[in-house]
Amino acid sequence: MTGPAVTSTLAQAPAATEDTAGPGRGRLVLARLLAAPGVLIGSAIVLLLFLLAFLGPYLTHWTYSDTDYSALREPPSATHWFGTGGLGQDIYAQTLRGLQKSLIIGLLVALLSTVLAGLVGACAGYFGGWTDRILIFFVDLMLVFPSFLVITIISPRLKNTGWIAFVILLAAFNWMITARVVRSMAISLKEREFVRAARFMGVRPLRVIVRHILPNAASYLIVDATIAVGTAVMSETALSYFGFGVRPPDVSLGTLIADGTDAAPTYPWMFYFAAGLLVLFVLAVNLIGDGLRDALDPTAEAGRRPSTRKAAK
């Protein structure tokens, strides 16, 4: 490519970037989000759950580790708002503590897995060749492993390392499919003129990936990360339910559901408060994820409804 051609291509590069990140597209995405009732409802529910999880404990003097031996398995009352457990634990304090832990684990797992998937997929698609083969072989190898079985084997050996090790373990098995999708996007994006112009100008590969490839894959990564939060919370709950996740004396929604399962028919408050918050959070996250997908995807049906209605009029 000659010098004038490179200059012409570089002059077109900002326009290509503005198509994906300009103020016009930002206003369009915002308008679609505000027009989607699912996003608004889901966001309101998630916000309320976060406020409940992190501010709610200050509304009572009970903590998740306190016990009231004078009130064993008592129903909800003015003293114990969600009732008490078999040892006199305050279910309200324990449920909010479990919600805190599950939310933190879900967010961290989604963040780590999305970052890892974006970097691996972008590098594989951009560099190609042996880099692509090695990375995709590793991705396929990770997909072959039964993640639940591997975590149940490794988790007991990490019981002295705290829940951070559990977060890393969950994230390690939650990024491969996303990486494959990002790789396909990177293969297409690296042939775009503004990416080729940056390469011909001598911009370092990692800088091209960070400045051009990943921003153009951000829409997909945002949606995937949102849904991954709900998936991570469900995974943590399932593993904690079987005793492979958060361990006593700490609690999570999974441990609370496991402790209250047998007592659910006779002492429903020991089970349904934790289970209800779990279902509510996962439903809200899915509503947000669906709305983000429709808003960020220019071909989404939700984005075409306004123009369709105007045409009908």
Rounded to an integer, what distance in angstroms lies between the CA atom of residue 113 and that of residue 224? 10
Q: What is the pLDDT of residues 21-61, one digit of tens each?
A: 455 666 776 777 777 788 889 999 999 999 999 999 999 99
Amino acid sitting at position 236: E
Rounded to 5 degrees, what are φ and ψ at 118?
A: -65, -45
Rounded to 5 degrees, what are φ and ψ at 84?
A: -130, 165
Rounded to an integer, what distance in angstroms lies between the CA atom of residue 110 and that of residue 43? 17
Q: Considering Cα of 64, then 65, then 67, then 73, what sign does the dihedral take?
A: positive
Assess whether pLDDT exceeds 90 at residue 134: yes
pLDDT of residue 281: 93
Return the ∠ at Cα 180 (arms to 179 and 181), rounded to 5°: 90
Q: Which of 219-223, 224-228, 298-302 has the lowest mean pLDDT?
A: 298-302
Assess whether pLDDT exceeds 70 at residue 7: no
Domain 42-312 belongs to what topology?
MetI-like fold (1.10.3720)
Assess whether pLDDT exceeds 70 at residue 299: no
Q: What is the pLDDT of residues 210-220, one digit of tens each?
A: 888 888 888 88
Domain range annotation of the chain:
42-312
Assess whether pLDDT exceeds 90 at residue 138: yes
Assess whether pLDDT exceeds 90 at residue 116: yes
Mean pLDDT throughout 285-308?
Answer: 65
pLDDT of residue 308: 41
Q: What is the pLDDT of residues 145-202, one digit of tens each?
A: 888 888 888 887 777 777 888 899 899 999 999 999 999 999 998 888 888 888 888 8
pLDDT of residue 151: 85
Q: Is 154 exposed, middle or buried, given 0-12, 13-18 or 19+ CB atoms closer than 10 A? A: middle
3-state secondary structure the chain: CCHHHHHHHHHHHHHHHHHHHCHHHHHHHHHHHHHCHHHHHHHHHHHHHHHHHHHHHHHCCCCCCCECCCCCCCCCCCCCCCCECCCCEEHHHHHHHHHHHHHHHHHHHHHHHHHHHHHHHHHHHHHCHHHHHHHHHHHHHHHHCCHHHHHHHHHHHHCCCCHHHHHHHHHHCCCHHHHHHHHHHHHHHCCCHHHHHHHHCCCCHHHHHHHHHHHHCHHHHHHHHHHHHHHHHHHHHHHHHCCCCCCCCCCCHHHHHHHHHCCCCCCCHHHHHHHHHHHHHHHHHHHHHHHHHHHHCCCCHHHHHHHHHHHHC
Q: What is the pLDDT of residues 80-100, one digit of tens each?
A: 999 998 888 999 999 999 999
